[in-house]
Amino acid sequence: MEGSYSLLCYTRIPTTRDEANNEDIALSMHLALRSSISGAWTALNENYGIFFAAAVPRDGVPADARTACTAAAQLSTEPAAQGDMSSQPLSDALAYRAVMPGVDIEFKSLRDPYLFRLADGRFAIVATRTARGGASDGSERSSFLLAVSRDLLSYTRLGQVHLDTTAGVHEPSVTFDTATQQYVIRWQNDDGQTCVAFTDDIVRSAEQRTVLPTAITTDDTAIDNDVTTAFASADASTGVPTRDATIPGLGRIVPGNVITVSDAEASALIERFGRIYNTGVSLPAMTIPSTLVDGEARDLIGSLARTTAKLQYSDGSTAMRAVDWNADQLAALANDASAGQLKSGERRTIRGYIRQTVHPVPFAVERADPSVFAWNYNGEQLFLFIATDDTDGNCIDPNGGATHMPLRVASRIADLADANGGRDREIDLLKCGDLNSEGRAMTGCFWAPELHVIGGRLSVLFMPCFDGEPTNPDGTANNRAGKPDMWTGSCHIMQLKQTADGRDLDPRNPANWDTPAPILTSSGGPLNPVQRISLDMTVIQDSGRWYYAWQQVGSVWIASFDPAQPTRLTSEPRQIIVPEFAWDNMIAEGPNAVVHDGRIWLIYSGSLVGIDYTTGVVSAPAGRRADLTDPSTWTKLDYPLQKSGIYNDEWQLGTGHGMWSHDEDGNLIYVFHNAEYVNGRYGGRDAQVRRVHWSAEGMPILDMQTNEELNPAYAEVTMDITVR
């Protein structure tokens, strides 16, 4: 293959959650490219998994309840096999065309990944499917998983390829024999014997669940080594051993195999899974007329102060940034121009520095589910920060029962930070014991408050909880009786009052807000008829329609509403995001949307709160009147958009529950929390603020390092001005 690269697939040996490499992450397909110059292997996606096995729906889960299981769309249902799930009843969510993660679907992992090409040139992957964490799930007795991909950036999971054996299917490999026009499938059985099967169309075999005849063989000639390099033995040309070993740059891995990919395919993988960094800067050439004088000249020179710089990046993407220009040089130029002292052909240079605000880390200690909101307060630009109080990791009843909703207001985002006095200026919008519109005392939680303008009014969406009843709905004793009980919580809205002429009152005065009211279905019922609790509500606008998206039943739901009556839905709630992978296992929550280049990007948080938290994303067409309540409208990324990793030379674990916003210069920012984790002790969640970069292919980058965003060598710039 002209200009080809070597691509290795592998799993990692699990280490610890502290290194984002527990079994859930290690037991997925990783990818690494080999340098044609040094021969060294470079891990893609920071040595994190790229392809994960999808959760499998249990027998009895109807098709209309699986519509949000997009990764498992082509998988058949199977009997539960893991732990006690085989005897666990299916959930009540099925009655509402939904599934409950970990109950109606069973999470999986994989080992022994193997890459090959189909006859039509597409990529395919086979692997041994396992229970989550790597234990046997029984499927390896007679089958292996199959997925296909055009580019290794996204995958279609076709389910299991079934073989006529019960003697075990381990280390499956597949090649296409060009002489016979057949796919040759090889594996090891439980006794270590090499077995073989053949099929004209492996994709159809998986789709039709055909059982393929098998045989024991010692013939290795069926493998076309021009297509795939299999590791039957250590190969000096690849530098990868057959068994688990430590590889520089990859750590301790279990290698799969190596295939060749083209320059274009390698470039696409590097763009998506490599690091993107600043490679240059450019500024427009400026000209000013020599004939300008007085105020007209000063106005023109003043406009030069708004000249922005274009930053170039390694993938071909760009970003515009404001520049802090030398005020003295601009003033001298303005004086000369005003006095008519500029001569045609004269050149002037103004120096400046590209503006790059680096916010403190952490931005706000023990403030989780953070929201920063840029808001026009009767003509005054303000920034508001609101979050869940997560003091010492207790977000239900923190501070000895002094639960509250903290709000910060400033004219600059920087002044919202703890380091700049933001915490000292916090206002309690709500406190423990305040009543909602039903007259119920809100005693805990105040979870995930988000700021939005709804129906022209500044609004806060949040979840309060109430004291628990003596017994749970199933009749069992409630250990939260008489204390704040998270399971009593539901989505509420409170809105800022306005004067008769439509001017906003001061949001810093709690008395200026309406009494919080629960958000109900169109018939006046609770949002969540299965478990009561609903939380993490956000707003999506598209094509003149308004939607709420929120979390319940461990997944993200959506419904339309009228902004003039924001306490009632106008459509039935639909489940649109289900956690289907080991990395977002058990829960999908904290949705938040932004529109960019014709697509709605809806981020969500996966995995349980703590150091394993991750950020996933789904996207949908914007401005085309798409039905956002239809799960098929949304496209899900197979791997997390953001995960635990090194940021500016320090580990940040448990990143998630973020919100898109904008800074003073209009740059898109991402506000999120990470786990406060010191010497193995979890102490809650801290808020962080970063800028967002858009790659050349249009993907949001949430973890760009400070020196990747702006190379210090390019920070100082000059604006060249010619007088004409």
Strand partners, 572: none
DSSP, collapsed to helix, strand or coil, labels residue 372 as strand
**Beta strands 574-577 and 599-606, pairing class:** unpaired
Cβ atoms of 574 and 631 within 8 Å: the answer is yes
Mapped to the 3 state alphabet, what secondary structure does 24-88 carry? Answer: HHHCCEEEEEECCCCCCEEECHHHCCCECCCCEEECCCCHHHCCCCCCCCCCCCECCCCCCHHHC
In whole angstroms, give the CA distance from residue 689 to residue 387.
Answer: 13
In whole angstroms, give the CA distance from residue 426 to residue 399.
Answer: 15
Q: Are residue 488 and residue 554 in the same domain, yes or no?
A: yes
Per-residue confidence band for 608, with pLDDT thresholds at 50, 70 and 90? confident
DSSP, collapsed to helix, strand or coil, labels residue 615 as strand
Please give the pLDDT value at position 219. Answer: 65
Q: Is the pLDDT of residue 233 over 50?
A: no
In whole angstroms, give the CA distance from residue 85 to residue 104.
Answer: 9
Q: Are residue 374 and residue 438 in the same domain, yes or no?
A: yes
The arithmetic mean of pLDDT across residues 418-422, rounded, is 97
Torsion sign over Cα 658, 318, 383, 420: positive
Give me the domain span that covers residue 344. Answer: 278-355+714-723
Q: Are residue 100 and residue 111 in the same domain, yes or no?
A: no
In whole angstroms, give the CA distance from residue 157 to residue 160.
Answer: 9
In whole angstroms, give the CA distance from residue 274 to residue 32.
Answer: 10
Q: Are residue 632 and residue 502 in the same domain, yes or no?
A: yes
The answer to the question of residue 702 being in a domain is no
Q: Is the pLDDT of residue 236 over 60?
A: no
Per-residue confidence band for 87, with pLDDT thresholds at 50, 70 and 90? confident
The answer to the question of residue 655 being in a domain is yes
> How big is the chain, counted in residues?
724
In whole angstroms, give the CA distance from residue 598 to residue 1.
Answer: 36
In whole angstroms, give the CA distance from residue 587 to residue 593.
Answer: 18
Please give the pLDDT value at position 4. Answer: 78
In whole angstroms, give the CA distance from residue 660 to residue 688.
Answer: 12
Q: Are residue 379 and residue 434 in the same domain, yes or no?
A: yes
Q: Is the pLDDT of residue 230 over 50?
A: no
pLDDT higher for 226 or 724? Answer: 724
Q: What percent of the chain has pLDDT over 70?
A: 96
Q: Are residue 131 and residue 202 in the same domain, yes or no?
A: yes
Phi, psi of 632 (to 5 degrees): -70, -15
- pTM, full prediction: 0.94
Cβ atoms of 543 and 623 within 8 Å: the answer is yes
Structural domains of the chain, count: 4
The arithmetic mean of pLDDT across residues 447-462, rounded, is 98
User: End-to-end alpha-carbon separation of the chain, Å?
Assistant: 55
Q: Is the pLDDT of residue 212 over 70?
A: yes
The answer to the question of residue 361 being in a domain is no
The arithmetic mean of pLDDT across residues 603-625, rounded, is 95
Secondary element (H or E) of residue 405: strand 404-410
In whole angstroms, give the CA distance from residue 35 to residue 600.
Answer: 36
The answer to the question of residue 73 being in a domain is yes
Cβ atoms of 109 and 153 within 8 Å: the answer is no
Please give the pLDDT value at position 239. Answer: 52
Per-residue confidence band for 227, with pLDDT thresholds at 50, 70 and 90? very low
- Helical residues (DSSP H) of 105-258, grouped into ranges: 202-207
The answer to the question of residue 697 being in a domain is no
Per-residue confidence band for 486, with pLDDT thresholds at 50, 70 and 90? very high
In whole angstroms, give the CA distance from residue 433 to residue 36.
Answer: 66
Q: Are residue 220 and residue 284 in the same domain, yes or no?
A: no
- Give whole-number Cα distances, 449 to 435, 445, 488, 714, in Å: 17, 10, 17, 39
The answer to the question of residue 391 being in a domain is yes
Q: Are residue 39 and residue 119 in the same domain, yes or no?
A: yes
Q: What is the CA radius of gyration of the chain?
A: 29
Q: Is the pLDDT of residue 290 over 90?
A: no
pLDDT digits (tens, 9 = 90+) for 27-45: 999 999 998 778 889 999 9
Cβ atoms of 6 and 238 within 8 Å: the answer is yes
Please give the pLDDT value at position 347. Answer: 93
Cβ atoms of 421 and 406 within 8 Å: the answer is no
Per-residue confidence band for 235, with pLDDT thresholds at 50, 70 and 90? very low
Q: Are residue 441 and residue 561 in the same domain, yes or no?
A: yes
Nearest to 658 by CA among 413, 452, 371: 371
Which residue, of 221, 243, 273, is where some domain finishes?
273
Q: In what order do the strands lie in the sheet with 367-377?
A: 367-377, 380-389, 404-410, 427-431
In whole angstroms, give the CA distance from residue 675 to residue 608.
Answer: 12
Please give the pLDDT value at position 220. Answer: 55
Q: Are residue 251 and residue 388 in the same domain, yes or no?
A: no
The answer to the question of residue 497 being in a domain is yes
DSSP, collapsed to helix, strand or coil, labels residue 551 as strand
> What are the tokens at 239?
């530098």
The answer to the question of residue 529 being in a domain is yes
Cβ atoms of 478 and 472 within 8 Å: the answer is yes
Q: Is the pLDDT of residue 545 over 70?
A: yes
Which residue, of 273, 290, 320, is where some domain finishes?
273
Q: Are residue 178 and residue 200 in the same domain, yes or no?
A: yes
Cβ atoms of 449 and 388 within 8 Å: the answer is yes
Q: Is the peptide bond before 526 cis (omega within 30 degrees of 0)?
A: no
Which residue, of 47, 71, 106, is where some domain finishes?
106
- Give whole-number Cα distances, 439 to 179, 435, 517, 518, in Å: 78, 5, 10, 11
- Helical residues (DSSP H) of 192-279, grouped into ranges: 202-207, 263-273
Q: Are residue 328 and residue 389 in the same domain, yes or no?
A: no
